[in-house]
Amino acid sequence: MNQDSPKFVLLTVLDGWGIAAPGPGNAISQAETPNINRFMASYPHTQLGASGESVGLPHGEAGNTETGHLNLGAGRIIYQDLQRINMSIADGSFFKNQTLTGAIDHARTKGGNLHYMGLIGAGGVHSNIEHLYALIDMAKRHEFSQVFLHLFTDGRDSPPTAAKTYISQLKGVIEKSGIGKIASIMGRYWAMDRDLRWERTQKAYLALTRGQGSLVKTPEEAIDASYAEGKTDEFIEPALISNDQGTPTALIKENDSVVFFNFRIDRPRQLSRAFVFEDFSRANVPVGFDPYKVKYEKTHLLQTPIQATEPFLRGPRLNNLYFATMTEYEKPIVEAGAIIAFPPEIVKIPLGRVISEAGYRQLRAAESEKERFVTFYFNGQQEAAFEGEERLIIPSPKIPTYDLKPEMSSRELTEAVLARLKAQGHNGVVHFYTPERYAMMFYKDGLPIGFYHDGATCIESQPDESRKVAALPGAKIDICGTKPIEELLRYDLLQMVNLAKLWEAAQLRNAAPRQMEQPLPGGDVDEITTNDIGQKWIDDGRVRGTDVVRRNKRLFCYVKNPFKG
C-alpha cells in the first residue's frame, strides 16, 4: 500500500440508532448529539432500510440484529425462511424440492401414509397455511392420495376462536384437489410447547401415534366441545377424527412419512424430538450453542431459566419413519435423522472471506452478548473464523436487565479495541460492535485522532450529565424496528448514492479491496455501468468509470480510490 494509505477500514455498527420523526417518544431526536449532527452536516450519508423486504423479511416485519448482520456481511439480501418458501412456491421450485418429494416417494415405496402436520391460522408467525395448500397440491401432482392432515389450532397469533374459518378454507382446498383427509386436531398448547413441559408434548405425541384422545366425527365437533368448556383454539384437547368404522382415520406409524410444515424453529422442536430421538430420555440434555435460537428464543438476552420436566416414557422410536421438517429446527434433530426441506442459507463469499483472501487481517470486536452477530452471522452463518480473522470478546455486565447499565461494556470494549490496534497494527477491516451505545472513531497511521460518544440506548432511564442524554420516563422504542438507519461515510474514502437497503452497506465488499489496491473477487459484481450522475462524476475526475457499480440493475455505490488522487 502507499505510504499515505489508511492502515485499516473501520465498520462500526450503531446498534439501536434509527431514523424516525422527531417527537417525545424519539430519544435520539430529544438527545443532544453534537458529534453525530456535525458528521451529518459534513459527510455524505444516506438512509438504509433495515426491516421488511429490504433484509429478506416479509413486508412490514421488524428487523433484528441477526438478520441485519447476515445482510451486512453478505452484501446482498439474505431471504429469511418464510420468504424463501413463498418464493419457491411462486417460481415452482417448491414442487421439485427433493426433501418434500422424497416424503411422497418413501410412503409410496414402503406402502405407508403421508402425514402433513403443523399450525393452521392467519398469523404467519410459525407457519403459513398456503404452504399446506402447496403440499396438498404437490401430492396431487405426484398422484399420491394417502395423505392425512394433523392440524394444530392457533388462538395466539390468530384470533382466539377462528379455527373453524381455517378448517372451512382447508376443506375447500381438499374438496377441489381430491387429496387429503383431516386425521386429528389439537391446540398448539399441546403440540408446540417449547418450555420443556413434556406432559404437553406427551399428549400430542400419544394422540398422533397411539390414538389417545377423544374420538370425534368432524374437527368442528372438537372445536365446539372446547368452546363449550371455555377453551379457545390454543387449548383444544387432542382429538382424533373417526372413519366409517369408528376408529381413528389415520395414526402415524412405521414406514410412514411425516412433513412438519412449521417454518419457525422453536416450537416444533419438542414434538420432533419425540419422533426422531432414539434415546428420548436425553431430550433435555443441552446441546451447546444453537445459533438458530437467537432470533426466536432471544438466547443472547438474560432470561429466567425454564423449570423443565423430565421427558415422558415414549417407548421405542418408530422404525423407518421418514421425518421431514420445513426448516432446520435444531442440529440434534437433523443428526437423529430428520431431513430439512429448506436448510439455512450459507453465504459462501461473505465480506470476511473477501478481506481474508485479499491477504489482510481483520478484528471482530464485541461484548459477549453480541459475540455471535459479529462472528457467526456476519460470516454468513459459518462458525469457523477466516484466515487472518481475530476475535476480541469483552464480557457483558452480569446484571438482571440492561436498563440498569444501558452502556453495557462499551467503554471497556473501546479501550480493548484501541489497545489491540496499537499493539498489533491490524490493517484489515475492523468490525467494531458498540452494543446499545453509539461511538465513532477516526484514525491516522493506525492511531486514533478522534473518539466520540453521542448518547445511550433509546430506553436509557437516567440522563448522563456529561452527554446530556434525554431522559424519557416510560418511553420504549424497539432497538430493532422498522425505521431506516443512518449510514455515514467519510467523504475522502467513499461516496454512496441511492442506497436503499441494509445489505448495500456492505459496499466494503467492493470498497475495502479497492482502498487496499486489491482487485474485486470474481463474480461479486453483476455488471459495471454508469448513469447520468455517475458519468458526471467521471467527467469531473471524482471517480473512475470502473468505480461505478450496479448490482442487480440498481445503482450500488461510487467508490473514490484515495490512492489515485
Residue 1 lies in a domain: no
Domain boundary among 274, 308, 342: 342
Q: How far apart, in Å, are the Cα atoms of 93 and each of 54, 87, 118, 385, 446?
A: 23, 9, 21, 33, 50
Looking at the structure, tell me whether residues 67 and 181 fall in a common domain.
no
Q: ∠ at Cα 284 (282, 285), nearest 5°?
A: 70
Determine the Cα–Cα distance for residues 548 and 559; give it in Å rounded to an integer. Answer: 7
**CB-CB contact of 416 with 394 (8 Å):** yes
Looking at the structure, tell me whether residues 334 and 358 fall in a common domain.
no
Mean pLDDT on 196-211: 97
pLDDT in tens, 485-507: 444 433 233 333 333 444 544 44
Q: How far apart, in Å, are the Cα atoms of 230 and each of 121, 161, 225?
A: 20, 11, 9
More reliable by pLDDT, 59 or 311: 311
- Residue 33 is predicted with a pLDDT of 82
Residue 46 lies in a domain: yes
Looking at the structure, tell me whether residues 485 and 513 fall in a common domain.
yes
548-551 and 554-558 strand pairing: antiparallel
pLDDT in tens, 254-279: 999 999 999 999 899 999 999 999 99
pLDDT in tens, 461-474: 222 222 222 222 22
Domain boundary among 295, 324, 342: 342
pLDDT in tens, 378-396: 999 888 999 999 998 989 8
Looking at the structure, tell me whether residues 35 and 94 fall in a common domain.
no
Count of structural domains within the chain: 2
Looking at the structure, tell me whether residues 338 and 199 fall in a common domain.
yes
Looking at the structure, tell me whether residues 74 and 101 fall in a common domain.
no
Identify which of 158, 132, 172, 150 has the alpha carbon closest to the alpha carbon of residue 219.
150
Report residue 135's pLDDT band, with 50, 70 and 90 as the boundaries: very high
**CB-CB contact of 28 with 18 (8 Å):** yes
Residue 4 lies in a domain: no
Residue 381 lies in a domain: yes
Give the long-range contacts of residues 81-84, CB within 8 A, separation 24 or more.
81/263, 81/264, 81/326, 81/327, 81/342, 82/57, 82/58, 82/124, 82/128, 82/263, 83/53, 83/56, 83/57, 83/58, 84/342, 84/345
Domain boundary among 342, 374, 402: 342
Phi, psi of 449 (to 5 degrees): -110, -5
Walk across the sheet containing 548-551 and list its strands: 527-528, 548-551, 554-558
Looking at the structure, tell me whether residues 440 and 484 fall in a common domain.
yes
| CATH code for position 293 | 3.40.1450.10
Using DSSP's 3-state secondary structure scheme, residue 237 falls into coil
**CB-CB contact of 401 with 323 (8 Å):** no
Cβ contacts of residue 7 below 8 Å, gap of 6+? 425, 426, 427, 443, 445, 446
Residue 2 lies in a domain: no
- What type of residue sits at position 87? M
Residue 359 lies in a domain: yes
Looking at the structure, tell me whether residues 163 and 303 fall in a common domain.
yes
Tell me the average pLDDT of the chain: 75
Looking at the structure, tell me whether residues 206 and 239 fall in a common domain.
yes
More reliable by pLDDT, 186 or 366: 186
Residue 553 lies in a domain: yes
Determine the Cα–Cα distance for residues 290 and 192; give it in Å rounded to an integer. Answer: 19
Least confident stretch, 256-260, 282-286, 455-459: 455-459
Looking at the structure, tell me whether residues 146 and 52 fall in a common domain.
no
| CATH code for position 401 | 3.40.720.10
Identify which of 324, 326, 322, 205 has the alpha carbon closest to the alpha carbon of residue 264.
326
Domain boundaries, position 397: 9-79+346-564
More reliable by pLDDT, 168 or 441: 168
Looking at the structure, tell me whether residues 411 and 522 fall in a common domain.
yes
Phi, psi of 357 (to 5 degrees): -70, -15
pLDDT in tens, 63-84: 778 888 899 999 899 999 999 9
Residue 3 lies in a domain: no
Tell me the DSSP string of 156-187.
Answer: SSS-TT-HHHHHHHHHHHHHHHT--EEEEEEE
Looking at the structure, tell me whether residues 368 and 418 fall in a common domain.
yes
